[in-house]
């Protein structure tokens, strides 16, 4: 039988569960596979979904299941969303609704995996949620058939549509046929009264395609909020596909010729998360970066009318204060926690994805996730994190080998730290005005290396940091500035922004601003290389270690490749290389 949920139209029979891997044939019908349920439920702010023009700051229960009808390059949640039976307890729609009510959420929202893969349980969830006066929404690639969309439109209140691009060729790289159903369905949902926002992926050199997607959306409605998602390369995707934040900001300004509200994500410190009046340009709502693919309002947004008289289209009333998710809870942070577990296992020589999922099942409860979040913030406690994951994997020997390697390098840095240097350091991410939280690993690496982190005086916290003023940086006058190895910005753009904002710290004047190599300072055991790098910059010529040789030893020992053969990317678990021992295995599941 042919599945009618989405336009791919898989054949479902005794030999095939379809692209999603979640449907089975029973008699003369296609049903949801009986083991499918919701694998997690976490309270989140609506801006974490992200939704920016729908009930600002409202609290929702985020749920996700398994399966996807697309096969996109660089997916941020590939393994979490893939078609596997994890064997752990799942939540039924009834339990999800009960959890949402218990935690006083305004509604429920399906994210991380594609709801088309669990359409029948999502439909059941939506019906039960509505019966309990809860709002319902989802993040989706919106590749539904017209038949499914007609039913879906009557069940949901809001949707964030992930638009891969305009051209059919881009959709074919995801295993779909064309972009036509997506734009057709966006128009259909709007006609049915569903609040629609769009997330459009921007990778380097596809500017023309993004602009054409925006022009096509504008023909449906120029008032649809467009979220430009700057492509971050995970897996085997090369770093060259990542556009700079500056390039993305310029593209956003070009898109504003067609769309009223354009926002830029994956770009800490950008001013393009704010809402501006499309008529007069006045600032109406201020936001800051708040974790992977999320943001938060800096103050409540309750008045949607501009002083010029223009009314911004926002659906629903605003909450009086923000809800802030703890630790790894909520949004795409759960995928970051998953990546960190994966990173530790890879360095222990465990490449099997089945073992990874077994370990994840053991640590994905809220209590253990909070414990992990605490352990990964300090160099010494990170070794406890390694031992925790090693024990869950039954790989204590490999865990001790990795811990020993890191511990010996830590000892070499401690002698320099004993000098009690007053060398002041500022640590930012993406923009000079986005400061990493005082307690994060990056700032603790600075302290461990004997530097004085000016971030430690920050009183406010965000995820992973907060916006600061140029005056804060000038007042504390750092001698060295480090830019995060996760979300960075080219130095020429960075210095240009310093000039624009009037940042005149010694680090800028003396050009002591350094971009940490990708994922050398957080999320992966490679942070030990970041510690050596930081110590070398704080204590020039005193470390007595060749960083490149250390990197080569680490990469050969724990990744089975030379440092020169490794292609940098933003993945926590490993750099990219066709010679990596787990490469062929991973590609078979891509």
Q: What is the pLDDT of residues 212-231, one digit of tens each?
A: 999 999 999 999 999 999 99
How far is Cα 260 from Cα 458, in angstroms, rounded to an integer?
A: 35
Q: Where are the alpha helices (DSSP H) in 394-453?
A: 396-417, 441-448
Stretch 99-120: mean pLDDT, rounded?
Answer: 95
Cis status of the peptide bond prior to 37, with omega within 30 of 0: no
Could you say which of 381, 410, 439 is where a domain stops? 410
Q: What is the pLDDT of residue 573?
A: 86
Distance of CA 356 to the CA centre of its chain: 20
How far is Cα 231 from Cα 268, in angstroms, rounded to an integer?
A: 14
**Cβ atoms of 264 and 288 closer than 8 Å:** no
Q: What is the pLDDT of residue 330?
A: 66
Q: What is the pLDDT of residue 581?
A: 47
**Cβ atoms of 487 and 457 closer than 8 Å:** no
When mean pLDDT is compared over 12-21, 41-50, 377-386, the highest value belongs to 377-386
Q: What is the pLDDT of residue 569?
A: 85
Q: What number of other Cβ atoms are within 10 A of residue 452's Cβ?
A: 17
Q: Mean pLDDT lowest for which of 227-241, 268-282, 460-474?
A: 227-241
**Cβ atoms of 50 and 137 closer than 8 Å:** no
Could you tell me if residue 538 is inside a domain? yes
Percentage of the chain exceeding pLDDT 70: 94
How far is Cα 552 from Cα 557, in angstroms, rounded to an integer?
A: 8
Tell me the pairing of strands 275-276 and 283-285: antiparallel
Q: What is the pLDDT of residues 121-176, one digit of tens each?
A: 999 999 999 999 999 999 999 999 999 999 999 999 999 999 999 999 999 999 99
* 86, pLDDT greater than 80: no
Could you tell me if residue 280 is inside a domain? yes
- Classify residue 239 by burial, with Cβ atoms within 10 Å: 0-12, 13-18, 19+: middle
Could you tell me if residue 7 is inside a domain? no
Could you tell me if residue 15 is inside a domain? no
Could you tell me if residue 328 is inside a domain? no
Rounded alpha-carbon distances, angstroms, from residue 342 to 231, 567, 573: 21, 18, 5
* 354, pLDDT greater than 90: no
Tell me: do 143 and 227 sit in the same domain. yes
When mean pLDDT is compared over 27-36, 75-84, 238-247, the highest value belongs to 238-247
* 331, pLDDT greater than 70: no
Q: What is the pLDDT of residues 170-202, one digit of tens each?
A: 999 999 999 999 999 999 999 999 999 999 999
How far is Cα 78 from Cα 338, in angstroms, rounded to an integer?
A: 11
Stretch 337-354: mean pLDDT, rounded?
Answer: 93
Question: What are φ and ψ of residue 418, in 5° steps?
Answer: -65, -15
Stretch 240-252: mean pLDDT, rounded?
Answer: 95
Where residue 197 sits, what CATH number does that domain have? 3.20.20.70
Stretch 107-115: mean pLDDT, rounded?
Answer: 93
* 587, pLDDT greater than 70: no
Percentage of the chain exceeding pLDDT 90: 73
**SS3 call for 330:** coil
Q: What is the pLDDT of residues 126-137, one digit of tens each?
A: 999 999 999 999
From 542, 540, 499, 536, select the one nearest 516 (Cα to Cα): 536
Tell me: do 63 and 185 sit in the same domain. yes
From 484, 476, 475, 491, select the one nearest 534 (Cα to Cα): 484
How far is Cα 375 from Cα 373, in angstroms, rounded to an integer?
A: 6
Q: Mean pLDDT lowest for which of 327-336, 407-416, 549-558, 561-570?
A: 327-336
* 106, pLDDT greater than 90: yes
Strand partners, 262: 226
Stretch 541-557: mean pLDDT, rounded?
Answer: 94
Q: What is the pLDDT of residues 410-433, one digit of tens each?
A: 999 998 887 767 899 999 999 999
Tell me: do 181 and 70 sit in the same domain. yes
Following DSSP, what letter does each residue of 346-366 receive, concatenated?
HHTT---HHHHHHHHHHH-SH
Could you tell me if residue 14 is inside a domain? no
How far is Cα 105 from Cα 97, in angstroms, rounded to an integer?
A: 10
Q: What is the pLDDT of residue 129?
A: 98
Buried b (16+ CB within 10 A) or exposed e, 163-180: bbbbbeebbeebebeebe
Question: What are φ and ψ of residue 231, in 5° steps?
Answer: -65, 125
State the distance between the two ends of the chain, measured CA to CA, in whole angstroms: 26
Provide the 8-state DSSP code for 538: H
Q: What is the pLDDT of residue 393?
A: 97
Q: What is the pLDDT of residue 88?
A: 66
342 confidence band (pLDDT: 50, 70, 90): very high
Tell me: do 439 and 376 sit in the same domain. no
Residue length, the chain? 590
Domain count, the chain: 3
Tell me the pairing of strands 295-297 and 59-64: unpaired
**Cβ atoms of 152 and 181 closer than 8 Å:** no
Provide the 8-state DSSP code for 312: P
Q: Note down the domain range covering 363.
A: 333-410
590 confidence band (pLDDT: 50, 70, 90): very low
Where residue 446 sits, what CATH number does that domain have? 3.40.50.1980
Buried b (16+ CB within 10 A) or exposed e, 389-408: bbebbebeebbbbbbebbee
Mean pLDDT computed over every residue of the chain: 91
Q: What is the pLDDT of residues 503-534, one digit of tens each?
A: 999 999 999 999 999 999 999 999 999 999 99
Tell me: do 484 and 365 sit in the same domain. no
Tell me: do 91 and 227 sit in the same domain. yes
| More confident of the two residues 567 and 207 | 207
Following DSSP, what letter does each residue of 236-266 receive, concatenated?
T--GGGPPPHHHHHHHHHHHTTT-S-EEEES
* 326, pLDDT greater than 90: no
Tell me the pairing of strands 513-515 and 480-483: parallel
Q: What is the pLDDT of residue 523?
A: 92
Tell me: do 165 and 210 sit in the same domain. yes
Tell me: do 234 and 114 sit in the same domain. yes
| More confident of the two residues 334 and 435 | 435
Could you say which of 366, 383, 410 is where a domain stops? 410
Compute the Cα dihedral for 254, 256, 259, 264 and give only its sign: positive
Tell me: do 366 and 447 sit in the same domain. no
Q: What is the pLDDT of residue 84?
A: 55
Provide the 8-state DSSP code for 69: S
**Cβ atoms of 117 and 69 closer than 8 Å:** yes
Q: What is the pLDDT of residues 357-376, one digit of tens each?
A: 889 888 988 899 999 999 99
How far is Cα 13 from Cα 46, in angstroms, rounded to an integer?
A: 39
Q: What is the pLDDT of residue 181?
A: 97
Tell me: do 105 and 49 sit in the same domain. yes
* 447, pLDDT greater than 90: yes
Tell me: do 255 and 369 sit in the same domain. no
Q: What is the pLDDT of residues 475-508, one digit of tens each?
A: 999 999 999 999 999 999 999 999 999 999 999 9
Q: What is the pLDDT of residue 357?
A: 85
- Which residues contact residue 374 at a Cβ distance below 8 angstroms, ignoring those fewer than 6 apart? 327, 381
Tell me: do 27 and 51 sit in the same domain. yes
Could you say which of 297, 325, 344 is where a domain stops? 297
Following DSSP, what letter does each residue of 457-489 receive, concatenated?
G-----SSEEE--HHHHHHH--SEEEE-SSS--
């Amino acid at each position: 039988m042919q599945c009618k949920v989405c336009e791919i139209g898989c054949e479902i029979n005794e030999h095939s569960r379809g692209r999603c891997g979640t449907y089975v044939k029973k008699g003369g019908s296609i049903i949801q596979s009986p083991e499918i349920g919701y694998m997690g439920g976490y309270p989140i702010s609506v801006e974490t979904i992200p939704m920016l023009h729908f009930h600002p700051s409202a609290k929702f229960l985020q749920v996700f299941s398994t399966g996807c009808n697309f096969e996109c390059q660089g997916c941020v949640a590939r393994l979490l969303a893939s078609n596997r039976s994890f064997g752990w307890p799942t939540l039924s729609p009834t339990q999800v609704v009960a959890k949402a009510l218990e935690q006083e959420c305004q509604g429920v929202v399906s994210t991380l995996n594609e709801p088309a893969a669990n359409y029948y349980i999502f439909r059941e969830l939506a019906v039960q949620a509505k019966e309990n006066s809860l709002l319902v929404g989802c993040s989706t690639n919106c590749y539904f058939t017209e038949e499914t969309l007609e039913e879906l439109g009557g069940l949901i209140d809001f949707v964030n549509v992930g638009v891969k691009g305009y051209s059919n060729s881009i959709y074919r790289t995801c295993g779909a046929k064309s972009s036509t159903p997506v734009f057709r369905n966006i128009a259909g949902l709007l006609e049915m009264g569903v609040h629609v926002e769009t997330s459009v992926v921007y990778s380097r050199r596809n500017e023309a395609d993004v602009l054409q997607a925006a022009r096509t959306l504008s023909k449906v409605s120029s008032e649809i909020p467009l979220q430009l998602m700057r492509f971050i390369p995970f897996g085997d995707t090369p770093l060259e596909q990542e556009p700079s934040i500056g390039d993305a900001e310029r593209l956003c300004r070009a898109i504003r010729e067609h769309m009223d509200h354009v926002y830029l994500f994956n770009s800490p410190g950008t001013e393009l998360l704010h809402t501006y009046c499309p008529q007069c340009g006045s600032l109406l709502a201020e936001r800051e970066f708040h974790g992977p693919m999320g943001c938060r309002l800096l103050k409540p947004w309750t008045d949607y009318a501009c002083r010029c008289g223009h009314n911004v289209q926002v659906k629903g009333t605003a909450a009086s204060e923000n809800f802030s998710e703890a630790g790894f809870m909520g949004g795409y942070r759960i995928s970051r926690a998953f990546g960190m577990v994966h990173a530790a296992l890879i360095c222990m020589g465990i490449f099997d994805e089945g073992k990874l999922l077994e370990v994840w099942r053991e640590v994905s409860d809220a209590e253990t996730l909070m414990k992990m979040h605490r352990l990964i913030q300090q160099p010494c406690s990170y070794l406890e994190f390694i031992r925790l994951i090693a024990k869950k994997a039954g790989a204590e020997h490999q865990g001790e080998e990795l811990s020993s390697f890191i511990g010996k390098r830590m000892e070499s840095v401690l002698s320099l730290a004993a000098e009690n240097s007053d060398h002041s350091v500022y640590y930012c991410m993406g923009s000079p005005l986005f400061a990493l939280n005082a307690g994060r690993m990056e700032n603790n690496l600075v302290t461990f290396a004997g530097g004085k982190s000016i971030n430690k005086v920050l009183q406010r916290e965000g995820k992973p940091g907060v916006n600061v003023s140029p005056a804060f940086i000038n007042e504390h006058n750092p001698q060295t500035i480090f830019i995060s190895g996760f979300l960075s910005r080219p130095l020429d753009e960075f210095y240009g922004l310093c000039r624009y904002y009037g940042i005149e710290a010694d680090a800028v004047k003396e050009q002591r601003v350094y971009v940490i190599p990708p994922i050398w300072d957080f999320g992966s055991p490679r942070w030990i290389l970041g510690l050596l790098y930081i110590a070398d910059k704080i204590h020039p010529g005193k470390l007595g270690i060749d960083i490149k040789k250390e990197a080569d030893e680490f990469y050969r020992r724990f990744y089975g490749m030379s440092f020169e053969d490794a292609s940098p990317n933003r993945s926590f678990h490993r750099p990219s290389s066709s010679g990596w021992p787990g490469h062929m295995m991973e590609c078979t599941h891509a």
